[in-house]
A and B are shown apart, each in its own frame.
Chain A
Amino acid sequence: MAMEIRLPVARQRLPESLDRDTQKHLVVPGDTITTDTGFMRGHGTYMGDEKLIASVAGSVERVNKLICVKALKTRYNGEVGDIVVGRITEVQQKRWKVETNSRLDSVLLLSSMNLPGGELRRRSAEDELAMRDFLREGDLISAEVQAVFSDGAVSLHTRSLKYGKLGQGVLVQVSPSLVKRQKTHFHDLPCGASVILGNNGFIWIYPTPEQREEEVGGFIANLEPVPLSDREVISRLRNCIVALVAQKMMLFDTSLLYCYEASLSHQIKDILKPEIMEEIVMETRQRLLEQEG
């Protein structure tokens, strides 16, 4: 049996590329952004002694009169209409508490949930008592953000048949800032798996269902065994996502697909090695650049 041993190697610093550097104004907390009082302060800044001071480490973004500092990594801040993937943490009286990688747990009201069979009726006391039969602690769901409360907590709904409880698949947790905003976040990749790119940084990879079962509404968990070929595709996709995240590339369906294709020449477990990660992501970047211009 062959064994692989790796020795620690010093990290290589990235080459400085000057044209990119001059575009962004990078700040750290305590830096004065401007002393001009005409600006409105956005996220990541605070007012101290008549000066606008940065409170996070990141790049300054200026839109007309609004200055904000965008941090490299933050928790998810909900916005209406986002698709999120979350995990149920609690079952309360008329609602579920869902963990979505944000600063407060999100709320899924019983009235915002699709009943099995897709029926539309007033939720009764029996529904309340049967809540645990629908979703219990530890289940994964996909949902859409309905509203954001004043303290930042997010209210979810699963009113469409494409949302609901998730069955068999793999979850990858990444930083929310790496998921690109697109028109749709549910993708069926041509390589043989489907993926949900949650705006909150939770990415769900699952085998493409054979036929769309419209009347179920996502509650019956499909527990049929997944064939090995599908599992391999899913594992490869998961490793590709980890590679893209390590090299801080934005995640969207095209970048994922290109990365998958670039990784086909390597074994699935080799994708996680640092030098192969760099190689694959470099190739993905080049293909994306070629595609753009």
Chain B
Amino acid sequence: MAGLELLSDQGYRVDGRRAGELRKIQARMGVFAQADGSAYIEQGNTKALAVVYGPHEMRGSRSRALPDRALVNCQYSMATFSTGERKRRPHGDRKACEMGLQLRQTFEAAILTQLYPRSQIDIYVQVLQADGGNYAACVNAATLAVLDAGIPMRDFVCACSAGFVDGTALADLSHVEEAAGGPQLALALLPASGQLALLEMDARLHEDHLQQVLEAASQAARDVHALLDRVVRQHVREAALLLGD
């Protein structure tokens, strides 16, 4: 613990940000022509790519098809070159399965699945560079990809991580801050209604501080929403211009 203080006396973090400041976000929709929807997002140094196929007929076991709504199938994988040390198993390990389940839970809450009975929607997310906030970057990328595919959703799903150091809640943790071992909260939010799609926390946090951390994460998610909103509007405007005639 010697040498690396996550929050300095003047209120600056390791990478020079303030406590509630997000990293720089850049996103693009429609990166793959072959998929129904695709998106790429960079949150600081974390880079994630999401691809959506569907809705289409159930492949594989027909018996798993739900008669009244669509099945959302998410797969999370990390590129072998994404972490500091080369990752041996890109998909199929426990963490990836758990992330896949969390993504599925998040998107089943947001996508209007009742419109597509007996169909399947596939969401594949890959992390190309992992520098903290993997789940958040994946959710943000997948939201843009689902929008690009034209699948109806209740609202955007915006996610951000938050931590707690020295009595202050930090928003959008980088890998250095995550590895320091403090409490980390991941939150996925539907901004218009303020409803939470997913809330997950690692490590211990005193309940008195929970409200503060939740507030920080919610505010950060809303800031992410403002950015993603701008990206989508720009994309729609460009497409509308080209299709205009």
Are A24 and B242 touching (Cβ within 8 A)?
A: no
Interface segment, A114-122, A211-219, A246-254, A261-269?
A246-254
Is A20 positioned at the interface, with any CB of B under 8 Å from its CB?
Answer: yes
Are A75 and B243 touching (Cβ within 8 A)?
A: no
Is B118 positioned at the interface, with any CB of A under 8 Å from its CB?
Answer: yes
CB 8 Å contact bits of B185-212 with A (1 = contact, 0 = none): 0000011110000000000000000000
Q: How many B residues touch the partner, as a band?
A: 35 or more
Interface segment, A25-33, A137-145, A182-190?
A25-33
Is A130 positioned at the interface, with any CB of B under 8 Å from its CB?
Answer: no
Is A46 positioned at the interface, with any CB of B under 8 Å from its CB?
Answer: yes
Are A59 and B55 touching (Cβ within 8 A)?
A: no
Interface SS, B side: mixed
**Extra inter-chain contacts (15) besides given A55-B152, A99-B57, CB under 8 Å:** A14-B242, A29-B156, A30-B155, A30-B192, A46-B112, A46-B152, A55-B154, A57-B150, A73-B149, A73-B150, A75-B54, A103-B55, A104-B118, A151-B117, A288-B245
Smallest distance from the beta carbon of B156 to chain A beta carbons, Å?
A: 6
Task: List chain B residues, Cβ under 8 A from A169.
Answer: none
Task: List chain B residues, Cβ under 8 A from A105.
Answer: 57
In the complex, what distance in Å separates the CA atom of A13 from the CA atom of B242? 12
Task: List chain B residues, Cβ under 8 A from A73.
Answer: 36-37, 148-150
Is B237 positioned at the interface, with any CB of A under 8 Å from its CB?
Answer: yes
Closest to B30 in A: A73
In the complex, what distance in Å separates the CA atom of A24 from the CA atom of B240? 8
Evaluate whether A26 and B236 lie within 8 angstroms (CB atoms) in the complex, with A75-B36, A248-B243 already known: yes
Is A181 positioned at the interface, with any CB of B under 8 Å from its CB?
Answer: no
In the complex, what distance in Å separates the CA atom of A28 from the CA atom of B193? 15
Are A58 and B236 touching (Cβ within 8 A)?
A: yes
Task: List chain B residues, Cβ under 8 A from A75.
Answer: 36, 54-56, 150
Is B74 positioned at the interface, with any CB of A under 8 Å from its CB?
Answer: no
Task: List chain B residues, Cβ under 8 A from A151.
Answer: 117-118
Is A95 positioned at the interface, with any CB of B under 8 Å from its CB?
Answer: no
Smallest distance from the beta carbon of A29 to chain B beta carbons, Å?
A: 5
> Which of B36, B154, B237 is within 8 Å of A21, CB to CB?
B237
Are A248 and B54 touching (Cβ within 8 A)?
A: no
Are B148 and A17 touching (Cβ within 8 A)?
A: no
Is B161 positioned at the interface, with any CB of A under 8 Å from its CB?
Answer: no
Is B153 positioned at the interface, with any CB of A under 8 Å from its CB?
Answer: yes
Smallest distance from the beta carbon of B140 to chain A beta carbons, Å?
A: 14
Chain A, 30-59, CB within 8 A of any chain B CB: 30, 44, 46, 48, 53, 55-59
In the complex, what distance in Å separates the CA atom of A69 from the CA atom of B168? 43
Smallest distance from the beta carbon of A192 to chain B beta carbons, Å?
A: 27
Chain B, 123-161, CB within 8 A of any chain A CB: 147-156
Is A226 positioned at the interface, with any CB of B under 8 Å from its CB?
Answer: no
> Which of B57, B154, B229 is within 8 Å of A28, CB to CB?
B229
Are B232 and A30 touching (Cβ within 8 A)?
A: no
